[in-house]
Structure 1
Amino acid sequence: MMKQALLTLRHTTLSQLVVAGLLASSAISAQAALFGDDEARRAIIELRQRADSLQQSQEQTRRSLLDLQSQIEALKADQAKLRGQNEQLIRDSSELQRGQKDLAKGFDERLRQFEPVSVNVDGMEFTADRSEKQDFDQALGLFRSGKFPEAAQAFAGILRQWPKSGYTPSVRFWLGNSQYATRDYKNAIANFRSVLTNAPMHMRAPEAALSIANCQVELKETKAARKTLEDLLQAYPNSEAAGIAKPKLATLK
Structure 2
Amino acid sequence: MVFRLANRFTAGLSMAGALASAMLFMAPAKAQDSPMSLADRVARLEQQQQNQDQYRTNLLNQLQQMQSQMQNMQGQIEELQHQVQQLQDQNKAQYTDLDSRVGRLEKTASANPAPAASSNGPASSPAAASTAAANPAAPAAPSAPAESAAEKSAALNAYNVAFKSLKGGDYVSSSRGFREFIQKYPNDALTPNAFYWLGESYYATTNYQVAVEAFKHLLNQYPQSDKAPDATLKLGYSQLEMKQNDAGVATLKSVVAKYPNSNAAKLAQERLRRLSQQPSR
Q: Does 1:122 align with 2:132?
A: no
Name which one, 1 or 2, has greater alpha-carbon Rg. Answer: 1
| Matched letter for residue 137 of structure 1 | N
Does the CA contact (< 8 Å) of 1:193 and 1:212 recur in 2? Answer: yes
Query: Structure 2 length as normaliser, TM-score?
Result: 0.47
User: Structure 1 residue runs of 4+, over 3 Å off?
Assistant: 124-128
> Could you tell me which of 140, 145, 151 is aligned with 2:168?
145
The residue aligned with 1:78 is none
Q: Report how many aligned residue pairs link the two structures.
A: 140
Distance 1:244 1:161 in 2: 34
SS of corresponding position for 2:206: coil
- CA deviation profile, 1:160-191 (whole Å, cap 9, x unmatched): 11112211110000000001111111111111
Does the CA contact (< 8 Å) of 1:152 and 1:179 recur in 2? Answer: yes
Deviation of the 1:245 alpha carbon: 0.8
> Could you tell me which of 154, 177, 184 is aligned with 1:131?
154
Distance 2:181 2:194 in 1: 8
Query: Structure 1 length as normaliser, TM-score?
Result: 0.52
State the Cα RMSD in Å: 2.1
Does the CA contact (< 8 Å) of 1:185 and 1:215 recur in 2? Answer: yes
| Matched letter for residue 166 of structure 2 | F
The residue aligned with 2:231 is 208
Does the CA contact (< 8 Å) of 1:148 and 1:182 recur in 2? Answer: yes
Distance 2:271 2:212 in 1: 18
> Could you tell me which of 199, 217, 225 is aligned with 2:248?
225
- CA deviation profile, 1:109-128 (whole Å, cap 9, x unmatched): xxx9xx78312223347765
Q: Does 1:173 align with 2:196?
A: yes
The residue aligned with 2:91 is none
Q: Does 1:164 align with 2:187?
A: yes
The residue aligned with 2:272 is 249
Deviation of the 1:159 alpha carbon: 0.9
Gap regions ≥5 residues in structure 2: 1-121, 141-146, 277-281
Distance 2:135 2:266 in 1: 20
Q: Does 1:185 align with 2:211?
A: no
Gap regions ≥5 residues in structure 1: 1-111
Does the CA contact (< 8 Å) of 2:208 and 2:238 recur in 1? Answer: yes
Distance 2:195 2:202 in 1: 10
Deviation of the 1:224 alpha carbon: 0.8
| Identical counterparts, % of pairs | 27
Distance 2:243 2:258 in 1: 24
Distance 2:134 2:197 in 1: 12
Does the CA contact (< 8 Å) of 2:239 and 2:245 recur in 1? Answer: yes
